Structure 1
């Protein structure tokens, strides 16, 4: 059944466990996708994290590539919405060759399909219970988990008719949340058969006005998965009101927008919308308003019997097909607004296209040398002809006053652009990978609304028109990969230096030489992002006047000798793979938050780097000559120095690490906080073999246990782990690691999740993590709330810390340190609370110990020659002596298998030292363990922080 939550559950499971695998992929809504080659590439790209390197010529080759590349890898794959056996066969035929522990999850509406593909386990998703149904409905109807008092009875009726189906509960709740009168809706539900879920959902559709209905049906039939802004332009060109319509559809849960700004719609809602279109003429597809089904489209185009009722038609072949249709098939489609003909070949005169209302034309693989003059495109808003064979866009100028987006990317035969004076409202021009393009019409500078120009990888382009600097609106200019452009951007006057509103400029891989960057680039006072990577210049002009610049990318500029003076407001500097051996002028970048210096040759960082008071991320990966790291800035949250192999030889990599630095506060200037000091999270990744010395008693393996003292407020938690790739393997991409906290006393657990940078050319690595009390911890799966360390640690409770990684790693050592409120810097050494030492190994008390403890005052104390736990227990203060009786009551049955070590470096005066010996006057062999547990749970006193504990 659709709408029962199969995809939601699959996503929840995927999000919980995907980081425990070497690679993972979630292929969503397969029933809506017929491009298996694209899915194969997505599967490999997501698992291998090689976005641009997956080259597959055909589906059969893709099957073999998947087998080869994923062989022996422990992977997680979710195939969502499978409805054909060939999808499983083409995507995971070689799954038996995946690594041990791999998991493949398939969701489908057809149980018999699972029997055909011989799955190992099946799980039938059940409808929600009445209680859970009421909670979900109330969340959407009342924004709380229970109904309002006056609506309880009506809510129960709606929930009953929804039949426990999550989608129906969500849609109906959203609908009723904006209605005062519910009785009409409830009466409609009563008239609908209990099994007809689509009819129940249709109540929400019927409540829409005409504008919203048109938008809903267009999305259901054509635009699921497309960018919201892209679709809004199309709908606006059809004289709809997409901003209002999409807002209402989203509010009613009929449409959703994901994190990629893509339009999403549940399968049931999609099917309902398409059924609304189909049911008007179930046996006559030529009379329907929208055609999306390939079989229906084939029938109409073959019979050439299209009618004026057709407003939208989509043919989306993944690659060229041999079948051809005549243009006469479109002769009577006078109301056609939306047309997609990907990889379709038409024969005949384009005069037969009688429509003047076409707003969107998407024709990938357009098979002609130019767009026919007779093709009516006067009202076109978007023209998308990627992968076409066009040489000249059109032979005669066409005035397209409404055209906003022109995309001719990957048209390898295109040599010239059209005259842009005929396209006065053009906003986006995309010509990426037009490898034969040699000329851009000079009229481009007169496009008053052009905001985006992409010329990436136009490898034959040698010059930009000088008129470009006259553009009054251009915000983004991408000319990366234009290898012949070279000095073409430095003609006088420079065509880019006059773009005063430009915010993003990409000049990477342009083969620019010495002085090729325009000297007056500083005139671009609105520029926020500048990418100059992979060029051959030796110096840069003054960039100090780019006052709005936030990101500067200088990766692979191997001939660059020095940095110019940079703007003070710069937020991020990327400078990987430089030839520089020293760094200068960095301390002036007072606003810098991110600094990338990977694959560099310098042996040290300037001491002045600690003056970068706003720096939060520092990347030094694979800088193999780097020998040491100086004191770091106070707000740094992430330091990645993986692959810095010289740091291991010189053994200087941890000098800057102190508990004081890990627990450093920062000023929080958010609204309502003023200048309140809050701790910052911190993650450091370094090559190394040893835990820092200020972590006492590092443990072998990946776990440590401790007991939290009473009456102490937790400020945060420090965790350190030494880990390595399993079997000494070298890996190429990052994984996740988890810090799990298990409260053994209260039987609760939490998880802190963090990406871990992998070792590159060495075996051992250090992860040092500080988690402040205001960090969010992941709760158990069944819990809905997140917790913080300050609330999950309770005095007297015993905890186990577990550092978990994927199977590609092994944790060799770990150490834990609790950080308390109110501790001075000198006290931090004593916050370690490790208790993995067996009790029997530390306690060897004999009968004479008890007697000697009861002797004269001069004999009172613990005989260190007989009691082996003496080095672990320091003198006990008067305050703790008084509290002993209550402490004993809290541990009536102490664990005898472990010694809990707790040390607190409070300075004790001489008087307290003299009186602490009385604490032991009633210790006997029978209650020795109980007394010790009570004492150490309170935290003991050390006068000498360096003495044995």
Structure 2
């Protein structure tokens, strides 16, 4: 007990076949034994110690495991081990962010679950995989009957063979020296000897499936409860071994990186003040990679400021060897074609859209899709989504640095001998001095904003050049009008002068934005060309003098934003992708022969083309003809089995027969304002998005499109008949704004989420599903409905029934009762001439609703009922002429809509009334859609609201309580509609 009194010791009493009371009082068997030592000098101290021991938390055999000694001992061992772990497991103070990473990983291990689990930890070299695995191992290993941590599997297999690692695992787990005669023998030994022990095994830095088959082949090798942790740079190894739980190692955050660097550079978490900015520069260079941070921190420790500055400048030119050596291990194991693809990404394509990178790599003869997948699984590249939801190819800065170093290191001062060129000044020097060599395979030249002349004559000596990308123009945006609508349209701006283009005939991929010539040079045979991309060029025809060269290998042709007028597809018999978008002078696409490989055609914004005949392109997958304002005839193939996307907005078509398209997913005919007939004679089972907005259709049969999810027929003002499928199970959104339908049956669309039926002036009957669990919004205005049954809609948030006068007169016909639950409405908009009673059933839990009720009149008889609605957390709007200050005094008022034609003075009086009647509120207004002659100024605080020249009919401004920021938004939008 004396030891227990010190801060470094803990005592646990064990009551073995005795009760604590016997020990405390020295009675019973304990008393008999103690009596023998009664005369000892220390007996008094013993007596006190025994009493103190009984006050400590401990274990009593009889009460702990019902007297079962073996279980009793096991319980004690487990409890003591837990305490020892909490004492001994202290994460190395130089490790940063490890506790969080351990907490993220441990739940996946499912400690205590009665199964065998294999867990993978993957990431790039130097990213902290081994460190994390070691920390987790130390954290949980006490809970297992056997444990083994096998470091550097890849390296040790190369040096000592798999047999030695099998021996290590068996010896660690069995706590004895084990002999293994062969790999085959080792596998049988492991299966036989480990199945009786719950084990924890870590296999670190695995790079081949053979290693896993030899060290942890099957789950049945291990006893239930065992855990196998595998670290690797190559995810494919884990996938091949059917490891289902794969954990990505996150690089360090900026805060963690700074902390780790400070510990290595200064021996503390806070840097020396004069080194703060330099420390941030180092951390930026490391880009979250722990290995680099540790190496640089150790290297810079104790150095003076000038040495720090010199080291940082050197890093800009010469990469850190320790980091590159570690990272290059992943590169060395790649097959040759994957190595080339990795170097292409590092030097040329980092940050490209994935589809563009695939296109360029395939043009150069690579199997790009599989190659990028391999590089991604080996943690050499990343595929990420940008804000526009496209996939992009990414790469850590040090991997990019490593790849570029591999290209440059053989001839660091002779760029003309490099396989890839990407540095502006080096390319300029090579071309200007005519130093081109066969060694050069790829060039990417960005001349934007250089305002300098570039002579491309030097390219002629680069006989091995297969990839050339030159950015000589910028894509900028300007405001233009299309059909009286203002849109933001891109166009090309030339800012570089290219002269003497002499392209080598080995070129497979040629991309030049802003090519300043009217044709390709006659010396360029282009016999190997697979992709020709010249967006924004001044090309009018491919070859000077009308010469015709057949480009048998050409698969991709992009002349968008160019001056080309016609194109004869006889010259490109194997073309797959054609982009002539925004070629404002284009008039004729000539297709006299079958184009069996043509899959993608983009002809948008070709203002003068009148006819497009694609009957000889039966394998189309995507056709885009948006904004071809003069296009009157479109001939489609009778059978187009691969067509997925058909986008034909703003054309002059009157009829369209889309033929047999069983794989069509999207049909967009928006703003085809002359379209009178759409023939869909065959099933389109996969059609999910159908937009025929603003057409002249009178009848539409959707019986063969049962899986449409979004249906937009807005502003089809002549639409009188709409034939629905037998079931419309996938329909989520329907827009029939302005249609002339009398009846709409949506009973077989139970998954509807939003229905927009604005200005359906002829609509007399609307049949909704009996149960519509996902419906959030129903907007219905100016309809002739007398009865509305919205069924069971527990998630309904917005119900707008403005100006449905016949319906509002008898709202008792609407199903708002308890049996058909209505969801937590955020807003209900009712436009009526008068309302004599509360429209909802009294038992429908009104407190959960927030309603906006618009009235054209404010009869005196409504006064009390309006105030009742407001007091329940709703709000009311009334005509400005009869507006009363009584509304302003209601403290639960949440939203106020004022509608009418008012003078400036009337609106000003209302504003004063609101401000004087409601304390603690902010009224704010934002002017939005007002014609040029009308102006209005709105203050931010509501103290001095001023109006000037307002002609609008509706002013809307919510009012929010500033004293309750958690419940209400502080800033509110107010609209003035002209």
Kept after mapping to 2: 8 A contact 1:499/1:524: yes
Counterpart residue number, 1:238: 364
Greater Rg, structure 1 or structure 2?
Answer: 2
Is 1:436 aligned to 2:585, yes or no?
Answer: yes
When the two chains are superposed, the root-mean-square deviation of aligned CA atoms in Å is 4.8
Please state how far the C-alpha of 1:802 moved relative to its aligned partner: 11
Cα distance in 2 between the residues matched to 1:570 and 1:804 = 40
Query: What does residue range 804-819 of structure 1 map to in structure 2 within 5 Å?
Result: 808-809=971-972
Moved more, 172-181 or 341-350: 172-181
Cα shift readout 1:14-44 (whole Å, capped 9, x = no counterpart): xxxxxxxxxxxxxxxxxxxxxxxxxxxxxxx
- Structure 1 residue corresponding to 2:329, chosen from 203, 208, 213: 203
Alpha-carbon distance change, 511 to 279 in structure 1, aligned in 2, over 3 angstroms:
same
Is 1:298 aligned to 2:295, yes or no?
Answer: no
Alpha-carbon distance change, 216 to 471 in structure 1, aligned in 2, over 3 angstroms:
same
Counterpart residue number, 2:499: 347
Cα distance in 2 between the residues matched to 1:728 and 1:643 = 29
Kept after mapping to 2: 8 A contact 1:440/1:464: yes
SS at match of 2:649: coil
Cα distance in 2 between the residues matched to 1:508 and 1:573 = 16
Cα distance in 1 between the residues matched to 2:603 and 2:651 = 11
SS at match of 2:747: helix
- Structure 1 residue corresponding to 2:697, chosen from 560, 571, 582: 560
Counterpart residue number, 1:397: 548
Cα distance in 2 between the residues matched to 1:304 and 1:370 = 24
Cα shift readout 1:785-830 (whole Å, capped 9, x = no counterpart): xxxxxxxxxxxxxxxx99868655599xxxxxxxxxxxxxxxxxxx
Is 1:336 aligned to 2:460, yes or no?
Answer: no
Alpha-carbon distance change, 245 to 764 in structure 1, aligned in 2, over 3 angstroms:
same
Kept after mapping to 1: 8 A contact 2:745/2:766: no
Please state how far the C-alpha of 1:474 moved relative to its aligned partner: 1.5
TM-score, length-normalised on structure 1? 0.51
Cα distance in 1 between the residues matched to 2:557 and 2:874 = 53
Query: What does residue range 919-930 of structure 1 map to in structure 2 within 5 Å?
Result: none
Query: What does residue range 930-949 of structure 1 map to in structure 2 within 5 Å?
Result: none
Alpha-carbon distance change, 537 to 133 in structure 1, aligned in 2, over 3 angstroms:
same
Counterpart residue number, 2:725: 588
Counterpart residue number, 1:509: 650
Please state how far the C-alpha of 1:640 moved relative to its aligned partner: 2.9
Cα distance in 1 between the residues matched to 2:824 and 2:845 = 20
Please state how far the C-alpha of 1:156 moved relative to its aligned partner: 13
SS at match of 2:543: coil
Query: What does residue range 304-315 of structure 1 map to in structure 2 within 5 Å?
Result: 304-315=434-445
Moved more, 357-366 or 192-201: 192-201
Cα distance in 2 between the residues matched to 1:331 and 1:389 = 22
Please state how far the C-alpha of 1:698 moved relative to its aligned partner: 2.2
Alpha-carbon distance change, 730 to 134 in structure 1, aligned in 2, over 3 angstroms:
closer
Counterpart residue number, 1:215: 341
SS at match of 1:203: helix
SS at match of 2:588: coil
Alpha-carbon distance change, 636 to 358 in structure 1, aligned in 2, over 3 angstroms:
farther
Please state how far the C-alpha of 1:257 moved relative to its aligned partner: 1.7
Is 1:361 aligned to 2:484, yes or no?
Answer: no
Please state how far the C-alpha of 1:134 moved relative to its aligned partner: 10
TM-score, length-normalised on structure 2? 0.49
Counterpart residue number, 2:377: 251
- Structure 1 residue corresponding to 2:97, chosen from 94, 109, 128: 128
Alpha-carbon distance change, 658 to 610 in structure 1, aligned in 2, over 3 angstroms:
farther
Cα distance in 1 between the residues matched to 2:663 and 2:153 = 57
- Structure 1 residue corresponding to 2:629, chosen from 483, 489, 499: 483
Please state how far the C-alpha of 1:504 moved relative to its aligned partner: 2.8
Is 1:152 aligned to 2:290, yes or no?
Answer: no
Alpha-carbon distance change, 267 to 127 in structure 1, aligned in 2, over 3 angstroms:
farther
Counterpart residue number, 1:647: 801
Alpha-carbon distance change, 654 to 268 in structure 1, aligned in 2, over 3 angstroms:
farther
Cα shift readout 1:857-890 (whole Å, capped 9, x = no counterpart): xxxxxxxxxxxxxxxxxxxxxxxxxxxxxxxxxx
Cα shift readout 1:432-469 (whole Å, capped 9, x = no counterpart): 111101111223x521111111111111111224xx21
Kept after mapping to 2: 8 A contact 1:605/1:630: no
Corresponding residue pairs, total: 558
Kept after mapping to 2: 8 A contact 1:174/1:253: no
Cα distance in 1 between the residues matched to 2:528 and 2:356 = 16
Cα distance in 2 between the residues matched to 1:302 and 1:654 = 84
Counterpart residue number, 2:594: 446
Kept after mapping to 1: 8 A contact 2:564/2:585: yes
Cα shift readout 1:277-296 (whole Å, capped 9, x = no counterpart): 23333322222221112233
Please state how far the C-alpha of 1:498 moved relative to its aligned partner: 5.2
Cα shift readout 1:498-554 (whole Å, capped 9, x = no counterpart): 545433322220022xxx214x44444554432222122363244253443614634
Alpha-carbon distance change, 517 to 255 in structure 1, aligned in 2, over 3 angstroms:
same
- Note the residue ranges of structure 2 that are not aligned, 5 or more in a row: 1-93, 106-118, 124-128, 156-202, 216-229, 234-289, 297-321, 473-495, 782-798, 831-838, 852-872, 876-893, 897-921, 930-953
Alpha-carbon distance change, 526 to 135 in structure 1, aligned in 2, over 3 angstroms:
closer
Counterpart residue number, 1:679: none
Cα shift readout 1:596-646 (whole Å, capped 9, x = no counterpart): 444723699846322324x33323175586999764453552433469597
Is 1:414 aligned to 2:396, yes or no?
Answer: no
Kept after mapping to 1: 8 A contact 2:668/2:690: yes
Kept after mapping to 1: 8 A contact 2:470/2:513: yes
Bigger RCO (CA 8 Å, 6+ sep) = 1
Counterpart residue number, 2:756: 620
Kept after mapping to 2: 8 A contact 1:379/1:402: yes
Query: What does residue range 25-64 of structure 1 map to in structure 2 within 5 Å?
Result: none
Kept after mapping to 1: 8 A contact 2:649/2:671: yes
Kept after mapping to 2: 8 A contact 1:632/1:656: no
Alpha-carbon distance change, 370 to 610 in structure 1, aligned in 2, over 3 angstroms:
same
Cα distance in 2 between the residues matched to 1:224 and 1:394 = 33
Kept after mapping to 1: 8 A contact 2:698/2:718: no
